[in-house]
Structure 1
């Protein structure tokens, strides 16, 4: 299978080329030249086996095809359990059991496993540049740490990530370099994209991306939705509807693509924080990126969701169809706090701020009747609440136990270099690293 740019101004490339490049030369995002036919998947397989079957058409004919099963075994070696919530027919898809306690561990480890195979025997190292609003950078840093012939530069908005997120970003060292940018996530993302589109820089310092713009991260994220939907249908004989907290739209786009491949997912609804670009668009307004605002759910502080290009591509630019198929709701900080506190008080459930946005949207759906009593819904739990202890613990009145892998990272000393929100500063660091 070949892959093309969402902007249709770059030549088609192989999957390996698309993964290695990250961003297409015309600035667009890589997408399959055509979506594969629906896949036949069976419940009862491991998550890694489900991923292998689901992803096989995308790898067909590529140099990585013989490696696919091994890549999946390496990336999907921790669970993504679908747990029942206290409220009837409601579930939570726990995606935070990886090394950095966030859903992005799945895609980051898959990308690292793919690139390590592609770069084997290469003389020049490949530098992965990643902008993060919180969890992406930590997942990428952990996945690529000590990988030969691969280096990572992480850009994050200084003061706009949680203390534990910031610690994770700067605690690994070695081939991982963290830059704390005096700006917003949108500044970080713009700088990363400019570097990836700088042909002169690329000639001197080969670069690739590990943001959700990377196919190597997007494609594997379909797998946990497919696995959960299969297991759920086997138990309940009903499709699984999902509410997904989203910022850059990558995790939600993975669910949309999984459903397009025949996975038994019902409705896919989006929950955002006070950054309202997607709710305003799906509510009938123009798609109008704007500067992001800082919120408690900082990993979703995105004012220009990159993967919107992919969503529009999948629906052939039909805004009416998109607005019919999806909607997004914004949840403010006060409501996030209230949801965390009330769910713990009523049911003993503990959620991170991002997951709480989706829980609140599901509560709204149930209360309004938009989600019928007999429908089964799942919230995508994108991060462990222990990563946001300064928000969560005062609201629930107790400490949140720290997962063992996260605790190990927090024991390490951390360092990040200050960086102005200017591309010239990033370019200089890349050339002189």
Structure 2
């Protein structure tokens, strides 16, 4: 697999180099030099394959011989050890549940695959691999569990003070071993900026073997394509061949993976970018101007991103042609008040408990269906287990939530947290002093 930078289409690096560098030196993002077109027979016959089979086929098409097939199959089988079921709610509407992994969030697909790919690719290298990750909620928990106890790795998680849920904070701060958490006095955008700056600091690059576990890393993006193909396989079983995906969108890695799957041949009618009031992309699609703003804290905290990094990947997929992007992506934005009403409506109408991110995806799906009526399947993505947001629900809804065992176990653990401001010098000093 050869990759280039979104800032330099002539650059070529291997999959291994892209995984461990995370970001090109020119501060772009890595993209596949060739997007493989999957065989139409494979697409038509997706229902014949398991999630593992689909994941292996897609990963092989993208990664090629950078990881031998036997090792890649082992990585996929070990990483994706949970299901991603579609649950129909009414005629033409279904929810894709992506929270059945260890950290109870869709980020488990990317984090578990990436940790195992990194372990394979770094075999024989005795240097510690320092993994830096910024999180607005769910990424950090998935990365912590994905890398927990992996030999030769050390994970540093940056999260914004007071802007993650109590369960999410427990998932970030209670593991110990090779996982450490830093509470940043700022926003997710501040955390992300610190991680990016670290990769461009020559002192840190010389002192550490740095890589990122955010969706800026191509190894996070690739496995997120798997569940779009698997969702389509489940729809074909139900006799549905045309689909619209409504995707809760913050840093735009999730929807970016869906668009990559689409470019590989997955037939998708439209992608909906479902956002909260951090509406940089909806405003871009309306005005043609990409104008990031400081992120605003909302109930859907994993989507609180004012400057979504992965949007450049999406633009790159469409040759930076705004018109082509608009043909593929529609966006809607909703407030916290909308989100609260949606949670109640979803429960009343379907007896289904949706987390805030899922509720916004449903709102966007409904808005699209009203605007474009037709005979197609609309699938909205449920990206996190509702138990992560206990303060969100009325008593009648909260009573319907089953608390998974892994959350119960977290409650008795001590949190280990380092508190820092949002200036890079303090973060750099911390890394150098705690090597």
TM-score interval, normalised by the smaller of the two chains: over 0.9
Report what 1:272 is aligned to. 275
Alpha-carbon deviation of 1:407? Answer: 2.6
Q: CA-to-partner distance for each residue in 1:55-74, whole Å, 9 max, x for gaps?
A: 21222131455421111101
Report what 1:59 is aligned to. 63
Q: Give 3-state SS (helix, strand or coil) of 1:60's partner.
A: helix
Distance in 1 between residues matched to 2:188 and 2:284, nearest whole Å:
21
Distance in 1 between residues matched to 2:52 and 2:183, nearest whole Å:
35
> Is 2:356 the partner of 1:349?
no
Report what 2:242 is aligned to. 239
Alpha-carbon deviation of 1:410? Answer: 3.4
**CA 1:3–1:333 in 2, change beyond 3 Å: closer, same or farther?**
same
Q: Give 3-state SS (helix, strand or coil) of 1:43's partner.
A: helix
Aligned residues: 430
Distance in 1 between residues matched to 2:56 and 2:431, nearest whole Å:
35
Preserved contact between residue 137 and residue 301 of structure 2 (Cα < 8 Å): yes
Preserved contact between residue 244 and residue 377 of structure 2 (Cα < 8 Å): yes
Q: Give 3-state SS (helix, strand or coil) of 1:166's partner.
A: helix
Report what 1:227 is aligned to. 230
Distance in 2 between residues matched to 1:328 and 1:81, nearest whole Å:
25
Task: Please say which of residues 408-417 and 263-272 is displaced more in the overlay.
Answer: 408-417
Q: Give 3-state SS (helix, strand or coil) of 1:61's partner.
A: helix
Q: 1:84-163 residue pairs with structure 2 within 5 A?
A: 84-85=88-89, 87-163=90-166
> Is 2:25 the partner of 1:30?
no
Superposition TM-score, scaled by structure 1 size: 0.96
Alpha-carbon deviation of 1:265? Answer: 2.5
Alignment RMSD (CA, Å): 1.5
Report what 2:310 is aligned to. 307
Q: 1:348-387 residue pairs with structure 2 within 5 A?
A: 348-366=351-369, 368-372=370-374, 374-387=375-388
**CA 1:371–1:71 in 2, change beyond 3 Å: closer, same or farther?**
farther
Q: Give 3-state SS (helix, strand or coil) of 2:186's partner.
A: coil
**CA 1:182–1:64 in 2, change beyond 3 Å: closer, same or farther?**
farther
**CA 1:397–1:154 in 2, change beyond 3 Å: closer, same or farther?**
closer
Report what 2:14 is aligned to. 14
Preserved contact between residue 144 and residue 150 of structure 1 (Cα < 8 Å): yes
**CA 1:15–1:68 in 2, change beyond 3 Å: closer, same or farther?**
same
Q: 1:197-346 residue pairs with structure 2 within 5 A?
A: 197-346=200-349
Q: Give 3-state SS (helix, strand or coil) of 1:327's partner.
A: strand
**CA 1:63–1:95 in 2, change beyond 3 Å: closer, same or farther?**
closer
Preserved contact between residue 109 and residue 223 of structure 2 (Cα < 8 Å): yes
Superposition TM-score, scaled by structure 2 size: 0.95
Report what 1:68 is aligned to. 72
